[in-house]
Amino acid sequence: MKRTGIQNGELIKILATIGHTQTLVISDVGLPVPKGVQCIDLALIAGIPSFVDVLDAVCNEFVFEAGILAEELKEVNVEMYRFLEEKFSDIPLSFVPHETLKALSEDSMVIIRTGETRSYCNIILQAGVNF
């Protein structure tokens, strides 16, 4: 049994097997899951677990080199936009229209669905390397 970090076996397995440049999505409760993309559904009730809680847990276990967010986040969810800009100040973040983000999610290895209900709390993370 793991001592610390993510305890969800399905999630830790996918994090250990994603290769360089492949992507995963951490999503709010409303992001549609494209056919053929694995979904690890962590949503319990509205707001639990939060986007930030899941993002922090994944960031502690996963090496990534870039992120993609919805442009709409900048205006609709300013608080989250500022939080993410600060959190990821050391990696490039791209902003695309939300519809484009949904289309890009079709190429992801997995969508990790949270219970988040705040608008546009979705991020695509591109795997980096640990060496």
pLDDT in tens, 94-131: 999 999 999 999 999 999 999 999 999 999 999 999 98
Amino acid letter at 46? A
* Residue 2 lies inside a defined structural domain of this protein: no
Residue 47 within a domain: yes
pLDDT average, residue stretch 28-37? 97
* CATH code at position 28: 3.40.1650.10
Residue 35 belongs to a domain: yes
Domain hosting residue 104, numbered range: 9-127
Question: β-strands 123-127, 38-41: how paired?
Answer: unpaired
Given the residues 5, 13, 17, 20, select the one marked as catalytic.
20
In a domain, 51, yes or no: yes
- Looking at residue 81, what is its pLDDT? 98
In a domain, 38, yes or no: yes
Is 49 a member of any domain? Answer: yes
In whole angstroms, how far apart are CA 73 and each of 86, 102, 122?
Answer: 14, 14, 9
Q: What is the pTM of this model?
A: 0.96
The total domain count for the chain is 1
Q: Is residue 55 part of a domain?
A: yes
- 25 sits in which H/E element: strand 23-27
Reply yes or no on whether 20 is catalytic.
yes
User: What is residue 48's DSSP assignment?
Assistant: B
H or E element, residue 52: helix 51-61
Please check whether residue 1 lies inside any domain of the structure. no
| Distance separating alpha carbons of residues 23 and 43, to the nearest angstrom | 20
The tens digit of pLDDT for each residue in 59-92 reads 999 999 999 999 999 999 999 999 999 999 999 9
